[in-house]
Structure 1
């Protein structure tokens, strides 16, 4: 039971002060006039003022509340190094026992896990959330069991009591880490990519080392080993071997004694893109479809187009002097002998033999395809004639043979069952809404190799694709694709079809018909297998630790099979399916939890100082716990302090007025009357 005097004024304090000033002025006037009753009148004024302040005698029945100590246990990834986890668990249990053994003290144990999305240890966020759930007046202190590598110091709350750090590091701890900087997301094929690499030692590292080994592997292949200087920043030039995603793994072997090898490896994923695509378009003669090809290729800013149209063949004898022709000679030797390897794609648009390209040049075209080049033949009536391009040395690589028939009937192109699975024609129905317009002419051909992905009249081959050696060839048995571009009978997906066709021939990775790859979202990967087959076998996943896991692939659309897999660890995963394989890195290239592994109180120094707390190593044993007054130092040699708060809960309150109204009236009236009588007797 506690007793206090409280005031519950009947008027605002400002008004009471004004009344007091008025009464004081009246008393001063009475003294100046020499009135003998001034003292009694003054006492009456004091009684009235005291009554207006509302003095109350208050008695409270209180129940004391216990002090609360917050005990935060860091369970982030870096706390799994060495014996830190065991040390933290044992220390937390011993601290809880010591604190709960103290009178009037409770403990709240709080777990601090890894932050989401590689944000590291979020200890201050956890502390702020715990404070929000407890009464501030009962918090006597907070103790953090951690390596001190906290990544949200800027979110530290205002603490009403000391915060202490008991760190889990040891004096002899050391670690080696590999850091990659300036790693681009994209790089141009054939050009060097320069990254900055540093291998550094931290903590009590052994001395005398100058060079350390570095292994570099691309797409999970056999790594190449180099020796690089230690504790020095070096520039590392690399050239990507292929287009699409390139997974580069940099590793320095673990050395006995270091804390972990988790920061000895860095994964960098770079997409290789072509700087420019060089295309040679040879038109046999002007026709409406020629502009379609030109517009398509010129609309792509990444394409360098060289276009020749044969306007005046050698057999044309019209007597016009050459000096009056604003034309240039066709540089056949330069294009087809000297610089043919510079082109990514060659398109023959309605070209026929006219003696312009000798057989030697066309034989060089065949060799160009077999060694990795690409040729597209857009056939017109010329392909069915005696001067057909088919009847040249490239006959051996063309996937269909002309029958010499030209079908001049309307037909609507259709995607074959195989074409529904091929990336060039898959999903074209969804690209263009509505029924496709018809074409007017088709060259009859008989398939000899390759894949028929589109058909025309009477299910005859219309678009045939084939791989020859290391290169590719395509035959479009009609010169009326331009009708779709003009919107004839509603048009069709002409732009998308020709774009995909050109990019498939130039070996763009996203248009490979047999491919295996994966897309990562956090620690989950979506495994994708594209195939022309109706069924594919399960995919084998090899984790960074070497464990093999199998997953069945489900067909989600024609030719596309998928599966989801949650990776149990950060690192490089290998995927294998039949003869196809792929690699993918899950998690961050450099986990923030392993960027700094040596325990330190430096990140929290400002927060600890602001609360008068301190930092102690757990390896030296638990410190003693003392009680300290607010504002006093709460840490010393071998001890830490908590601040008792003396919080309580009020069970009941009793209030008694010191000046009841009847007493005020009686006293004020008596004193005023006494003053009047004294002054009247004197007169």
Structure 2
């Protein structure tokens, strides 16, 4: 195909040429006013000069027609594997490719779209935009998209220069059921009721046989599942009570119903971190001493602690006639604290307390029963623990983890973790810890020395720290459902004052208190996992007091199992890194220890909306002038249509030929050579002068005669 056009390459800017044209018009007007007969020739001469400056040329283009491009988008995301959609897609794509191949002057670009990374869903909009950007827009005659219509980035779909034809997979009779979590708390208070709001939603052509009801099962950490029959399509508020701290995985599952598209969206999980409302601590000090303020400051500095503190300021042996009921400014409510409301306390601390007759023996019986029911006591022993006033001489002696010998060791000693303490979560990993006794000299700075210790014998609990002469310093034990900690020294406050370099007093006492509160992260035998954000990888952590642990069994969402061998990375800490094959709920098990871990969403985004619908792509379809066709009605024929005409009908869809061309050759030839323009302008100027001269001579001769 050839094309002819005139182009200009002016020697001067166009404004200068326009100015020259204006001057020529003024001169032409002057010539007309004076009646010069050569004005027309002068005008032609000026026009020729202006044309010479503009340098007109003839441009001849040779072009060749280009083929039209049709984009074929093949959606192969997870939702396209439901029912017989994969077979529908295969048949449609093959048939459309065959039709396009048979049409003259058509090229096909096939783009296959899979699931997006990080549970992004079907990224059809981005795929369409990328495909359009890689092709010349002037050649794109249309886009054919074989999909279920569930595009999760439809807002990214570009405005096409030709029709977007969506060919929907699926059937009109499809229906599905899913769980939709509407609100869920990130934290829940242990022992108090919290609520999760959810909805069970039926989508598509729901059969009447469902009755509008569903069977839902709820479990926390996979234990004690409870089932309920609920109505669908309504907001449901389900109460839950957390019974332990740390992460609680709440799982909701629907019983599968025959005929629904998939049960992958019949499960939802919520991870709630269990926290204590406030830790209620009763601190009973036997007498004022240097460490009493340290205990008080430690407990008062924690905003999550409600502290009740009593100090016996004057012992009964001081006989001065003052009634016992008046020994304190505020009456000591022993009946209320140790009988009526004792179960309201999470921890009772006896700080250098001696049994001096203030508390009747029946109260100690009650404290013992409190521990066996699940309570906790911490005894910070002073010299009185080695005398007849020792708490060991009361009924609490039955639950004490060690027996005092009656000896008080008054010498400088260095507290050390024992071999067992290096593995125990209460003392493991404390900064600056010296080596256990007999394992060589310590290098570098370490904990400061203490100056007094009560000798203990016959420990029945776990000795995690030793002191003077290698004697037990900190002993931990379980009694019934509760826990007891015995610290055989009243000099922990020296660390707080920085004596001899100080030590981790705050961290040690915090760990003791939280171990007694049964916090999961401080259990000796524990199994948990740390999930890497944004991935399906997790680190499995097994804490144990044993030298070795068996492999951890992982139960996958499909019910299959794998065994993972862990290696010891620190004393008492065994770890392994593992990558899950897919998102879902995983159960870790080692004997009686279990942990439920939610990797990614329990219901992937691809299964949130499973009914085929072109609604998400409606704006892109309307903007391009395209249409929607269901493959259930058959594979449509492809027609070529003019722009602006209807692009879809019964049994057919249209593409728009673009008629794009490519320029193969360009030739430019001046209209006249420069000398010809000058010669022509000179001839016209001379001609105008001769005409005007002849006229003047003719007029002048007549007047003389």
Same fold per TM (> 0.5)?
A: yes
Partner SS state of residue 239, structure 2? strand
String of CA shifts for 1:169-209, please: whole Å, max 9, x gaps.
21111111121211111111222212222112111111261
CA shift for structure 1 position 480? 0.6
Matches within 5 A, 1:267-282: 267-282=269-284
C-alpha distance 12-632 of structure 1, shift in aligned 2 (>3 A): farther
Q: How is 1:361-372 mapped onto 2 (pairs within 5 angstroms)?
A: 361-372=363-374
For residues 478-627 of structure 1, what are the structure 2 equivalents within 5 Å?
478-521=489-532, 522-627=535-640
> Take 2:251 and 2:531, find their aligned partners in 1: how far apart are those partners?
17
* 1:54-65 alignment, distance < 5 Å: 54-65=55-66
Say whether residues 1:661 and 2:674 are aligned partners: yes
Question: Whole-Å Cα distance in 2 between the matches of residues 89 and 49 of structure 1?
Answer: 68
1:469 to 474, 477, 480: 480
Residue 205 of structure 1 corresponds to 206
Q: Tell me the residue number matched to 1:459.
A: 470
Partner SS, residue 115 of structure 2: coil
CA contact (8 A) 1:197 1:233 kept: yes
For 2:363 and 2:326, how far apart are their aligned partners in 1? 29
Query: Any gaps of 5 or more consecutive residues in structure 2?
Result: 435-443, 697-705
CA contact (8 A) 2:151 2:617 kept: yes
Q: CA deviation at 1:412?
A: 1.3
Aligned to 2:233: 231
Change (3 A) 1:641 1:26: farther
Equivalent residue, structure 2, for 1:181:
182
| Distance (Å, rounded) in 1 between the aligned partners of 2:55 and 2:262 | 72
Please report the RMSD computed on the Cα atoms of aligned residues, expressed in angstroms: 2.0
Residue in 2 that maps onto 1:25: 26
* Shift, 1:598, TM fit: 0.8
Question: Alignment partner of 1:556: what SS?
Answer: strand
Secondary structure of the residue aligned to 1:466 is strand
Q: Give yes or no for the alignment of 1:99 onto 2:100.
A: yes
Equivalent residue, structure 1, for 2:89: 88
Is the Cα contact below 8 Å between 1:64 and 1:646 reproduced in 2? Answer: yes
CA distance in 2, matches of 1:338, 1:597: 58
Q: Say which of 401, 404, 429 aligns to 1:402.
A: 404
2:336 pairs with 325, 334, 338, which one? 334
State the shift of 1:482 in Å.
Answer: 0.4
**Shift in Å, 1:413:** 1.1
Aligned residues: 683
Structure-2 change in CA distance of 1:105 and 1:434 (3 Å): farther
Query: Of 427, 430, 440, which aligns to 2:429?
Result: 427
Distance 1:632 1:662 in 2: 55
Aligned to 1:161: 162
Is this contact kept in 1: 2:73–2:110, CA < 8 A? yes
CA gap of 1:619–1:324, structure 2 versus 1, over 3 A, is closer
Contact 2:459 2:475 in 1 (8 A): no
CA contact (8 A) 1:348 1:377 kept: yes
Paired with 1:571 and 1:671, the residues of 2 have a C-alpha distance of: 93
**Bigger mean CA deviation after superposition, 270-279 or 99-108:** 99-108
Q: Which residue of 2 aligns with 1:264?
A: 266
SS in 2 for 1:35: coil
Residues 89 and 188 of structure 1: CA distance in aligned 2, closer, same or farther (over 3 Å): same
Q: Which moved more, 1:120-129 or 1:540-549?
A: 120-129
Deviation at 1:322, TM superposition (A): 7.7
Gap regions ≥5 residues in structure 1: none
Residues 226/323 of structure 1: CA separation in 2 closer, same or farther (3 Å cut): closer
Q: How much does 1:328 deviate?
A: 1.9
Indicate the residue corresponding to 1:46 in structure 2. 47
Offset of 1:231 from its aligned partner?
Answer: 1.8
Deviation at 1:54, TM superposition (A): 3.0
Picking from 385, 388, 412, the partner of 1:386 is 388
Deviation at 1:590, TM superposition (A): 4.2
| Residue 222 (structure 1) shift | 4.2
Task: Give the drift of 1:311.
Answer: 0.4
2:301 equivalent in structure 1? 299
* TM-score w.r.t. length of structure 2: 0.93
Following superposition, the deviation at residue 535 of structure 1 comes to 0.8
Distance 1:447 1:482 in 2: 26
Question: Quick check: 113-122 or 253-262, which moved more?
Answer: 113-122
Name which of structure 1's ranges 565-574 and 186-195 shifts more when overlaid on structure 2. 565-574
Deviates more, 1:519-528 or 1:392-401: 519-528
